[in-house]
Amino acid sequence: MLLKILISGFIPISIAIYFQLKEPLDTTWGESFGFFTGRMFFVFEYVFFPFILIWILTVAKEDLLDPKFKSIWGALYANIHIDNIGQRMYVHVFIIRRLLLLIIGLKAYGKPPLQLVAINIMNIAVIIYIGLWAPLKGIHEHKMDLFNEAMVALLTYFLFMFTDALPDKGA
């Protein structure tokens, strides 16, 4: 259950950790507890969790299919193929993409062209990954994932070209 929370709540938890570490409040008991909790989540999410993700890549396929192992660690490879390392990396790519999105949003704030180009490159890289490795188990899920990623890339392109994110030619 904790793994599902870490995977699905990666961006909100990361944003909370970022602000807690950037400008900690330490005036009341609750704020002190929040600071401690932020540090604890930082260590777990950015130290232990990457080791768990790397470890899952090295586990034999037979062990991944074991029901006891699957009940504990199955959230890291649920609904994906586990035949090769490229397919097992689906959750890794998902989390790295979210982390990059967070970094782009926080560090390139005020630079919309840089943000849009970086996000578009990231979208294209994810489309290539999904097209090459086909990590999802069902063909329908695979096609829907490719379609969704293509639509996100297309909408990012339209955002790039048809908004005020880019300066006008005469300006």
Of 92, 118, 93, residue with least CA distance to 103: 118
Is residue 80 within 8 A of residue 136, CB to CB? The reply is yes
Q: Answer with the one of 55, 78, 101 that is the final residue of a domain.
A: 78
Backbone angles phi, psi at 80, to 5 degrees: -130, 155
What distance in Å separates the CA atoms of residue 125 and residue 93, rounded to the nearest whole number? 10
Across the chain, mean pLDDT equals 86
**Which domain covers residue 87, as residue numbers?**
80-171
Residue 53 shares a structural domain with residue 124: no
Is 79 in a helix, a strand, or coil?
Answer: coil
Residue 73 shares a structural domain with residue 9: yes
Task: Look at phi and psi of residue 112 and say left if phi exceeds 0, alpha if psi is from -120 to 50, else beta.
Answer: alpha
Residue 91 shares a structural domain with residue 163: yes
**pLDDT tops 90 at residue 62:** yes
pLDDT for position 167: 67
Confidence of residue 133 (pLDDT cuts 50, 70, 90): very high
Tally of CB atoms within 10 A around 53: 18
Residues facing residue 136 across a β-bridge: 80
Residue 64 shares a structural domain with residue 32: yes
What distance in Å separates the CA atoms of residue 39 and residue 8, rounded to the nearest whole number? 20
Residue 73 shares a structural domain with residue 85: no
pLDDT for position 117: 87
| Over residues 29-34, mean pLDDT | 78
Residue 64 shares a structural domain with residue 122: no
Residue 4 shares a structural domain with residue 65: yes
Is residue 162 within 8 A of residue 107, CB to CB? The reply is no
To the nearest whole percent, how much of the chain has pLDDT over 90?
37
Residue 169 shares a structural domain with residue 86: yes
Residue 171 shares a structural domain with residue 145: yes
Q: Answer with the one of 63, 78, 93 that is the final residue of a domain.
A: 78
**pLDDT tops 70 at residue 166:** no
What distance in Å separates the CA atoms of residue 84 and residue 136, rounded to the nearest whole number? 12
Structure tokens at 32: 């002190």
pLDDT for position 171: 59
Residue 26 shares a structural domain with residue 92: no
Q: Answer with the one of 78, 99, 125 that is the final residue of a domain.
A: 78
Of 15, 37, 137, residue with least CA distance to 88: 137
To the nearest whole percent, how much of the chain has pLDDT over 70?
95
Residue 74 shares a structural domain with residue 86: no
pLDDT for position 111: 87
**pLDDT tops 80 at residue 6:** no
Q: Lowest mean pLDDT: which of 5-9, 80-84, 126-130, 165-169?
A: 165-169
Q: How many domains does the chain contain in total?
A: 2
pLDDT for position 1: 64
Q: What is the pLDDT of residues 68-120, one digit of tens each?
A: 999 988 888 888 999 999 999 998 998 899 889 888 988 888 888 888 889 98
Residue 101 shares a structural domain with residue 164: yes
